[in-house]
């Protein structure tokens, strides 16, 4: 169980109240599908060592209504870490999706890559990544599958060139395990991520909040440790910069993974009740979007 104290207990209670309110006011059509089930329209591919848009060996593909990470055309993984970015950034939102692990890890994949995948939030753009960069600066919802014995939590919180606070203190860890149960086999698992700008982020698995953290920002401690970039001086200059928005991306880390029902509920928009596109559940005001 996650423990909260002080102001973060109040934040937790507020967010749970908001989630309840959403369930009462949000319509099915308010959720935006990010994947159309047919092709990769609206997504950008970037694989380490390859140019932007080069979907090396058809790593990312749309098949049978699923968005798939696949390695059947690889002879060896050769550190070809890949990411598939949605075309536009978001700041305040709820993201939900289902995933499952399938098949065997690609030959040559890292030991930790078995039944390992991930979805990134607040990521840098695909266009801003350098040629050989293996991971974008981002926050990672780390997806792990059980290995048949022992615990292996999923929807863990990892920082890629970033840092966050947990329970009011800056966390020194690269990855922090969630409180989720272990999911063995190839079952579908439902994950929801609530992102509120640079304030708080929650990971929810099958309806249960399993980890929460606050104040995401650029952290230079991970430059050239968890991330290898061709332009470290730039990122060092960004140390401590709050992450208020960013891109959503799906990772390819040598393990085949399927995704489906990838949807987002935008929580930023017109909050003027007189406007035609007013939504009562918006948490962040952007009245430049109002239509009358």
DSSP character string of 201-261: EEEEETTEEEEEEEEEEE-GGGBTTTB--S-HHHHHHTTT-B---BEEEEEESSS-EEEEE
Instruction: Kindly state the average pLDDT of the residues 86-100.
Output: 98
For residue 186, pLDDT over 80 is answered with: yes
pLDDT in tens, 27-40: 888 999 999 999 99
pLDDT in tens, 142-155: 999 999 889 999 99
Domains of the chain in sequence order: 7-289 (2.60.120.560)
Residue 18 is predicted with a pLDDT of 55
For residue 216, pLDDT over 80 is answered with: yes
If we measure between CA atoms, which residue out of 217, 204, 257 comes closest to residue 84? 257
% the chain with pLDDT above 70: 89
For residue 11, pLDDT over 70 is answered with: no
Instruction: Kindly state the average pLDDT of the residues 107-125.
Output: 97
Residue 2 is predicted with a pLDDT of 46
Model pTM score: 0.91
% the chain with pLDDT above 90: 81
For residue 221, pLDDT over 90 is answered with: no
For residue 199, pLDDT over 80 is answered with: yes
C-alpha gyration radius of the chain = 19
Q: Are 166 and 214 in contact, with CB atoms under 8 Å apart?
A: yes
Residue 13 to residue 4: CA distance in whole angstroms: 10
pLDDT band at 8 (very low <50, low <70, confident <90, very high): very low
Residue 29 is predicted with a pLDDT of 87
Instruction: Kindly state the average pLDDT of the residues 83-105.
Output: 97
- The two three-digit tokens of residue 120, written as one number: 């990134």
For residue 79, pLDDT over 50 is answered with: yes
If we measure between CA atoms, which residue out of 122, 124, 101 comes closest to residue 113? 101
The secondary structure of residue 154, as a DSSP letter, is: S
Instruction: Kindly state the average pLDDT of the residues 157-177.
Output: 93
Residue 87 to residue 107: CA distance in whole angstroms: 31
Residue 292 is predicted with a pLDDT of 97
CA angle 261, 141, 167 (to 5 degrees): 130
Q: Are 84 and 43 in contact, with CB atoms under 8 Å apart?
A: yes
For residue 1, pLDDT over 90 is answered with: no
Runs of H (alpha helix) within the chain: 7-25, 232-237
Name the E strands within the chain: 32-33, 43-47, 60-63, 66-69, 82-86, 92-101, 116-123, 138-144, 156-160, 162-166, 169-170, 175-176, 189-196, 200-205, 208-218, 247-252, 257-266, 268-269, 284-285
Q: Are strands 284-285 and 268-269 parallel, antiparallel or unpaired?
A: parallel
Residue 154 to residue 181: CA distance in whole angstroms: 7
Q: Are 237 and 254 in contact, with CB atoms under 8 Å apart?
A: no
């Amino acid at each position: 169980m996650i423990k909260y104290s002080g102001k973060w207990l109040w934040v937790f209670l507020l967010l749970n109240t908001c989630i309840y309110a959403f369930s009462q006011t949000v319509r099915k059509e308010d959720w935006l599908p990010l994947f159309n089930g047919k092709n990769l329209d609206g997504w950008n591919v970037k694989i380490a060592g390859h140019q932007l848009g080069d979907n090396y060996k058809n790593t990312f593909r749309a098949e049978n209504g699923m968005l798939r990470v696949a390695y059947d055309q690889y002879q060896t993984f050769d550190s070809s870490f890949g990411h598939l970015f949605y075309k536009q950034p978001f700041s305040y939102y709820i993201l939900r999706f289902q995933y499952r692990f399938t098949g065997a890890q690609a030959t040559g994949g890292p030991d930790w890559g078995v039944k390992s995948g991930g979805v990134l939030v607040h990521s840098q753009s695909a266009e801003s990544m350098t040629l050989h960069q293996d991971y974008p600066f981002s926050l990672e919802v780390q997806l792990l599958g059980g290995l048949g014995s022992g615990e292996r939590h999923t929807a863990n919180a990892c920082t890629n060139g970033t840092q966050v606070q947990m329970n009011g203190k800056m966390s020194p860890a690269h990855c922090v395990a969630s409180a989720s149960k272990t999911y063995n086999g190839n079952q579908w698992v439902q994950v929801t991520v609530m992102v509120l700008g640079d304030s708080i982020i929650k990971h929810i698995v099958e309806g249960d909040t399993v980890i929460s953290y606050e104040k995401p920002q650029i952290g230079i401690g991970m430059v050239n440790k968890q991330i290898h970039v061709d332009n470290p001086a730039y990122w060092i200059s960004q140390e401590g910069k709050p992450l208020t928005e960013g891109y959503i991306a799906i990772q390819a880390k040598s393990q085949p993974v399927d995704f489906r029902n990838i949807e987002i509920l935008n929580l930023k928009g017109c909050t003027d009740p007189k406007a035609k596109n007013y939504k009562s559940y918006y948490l962040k005001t952007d009245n430049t979007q109002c239509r009358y």
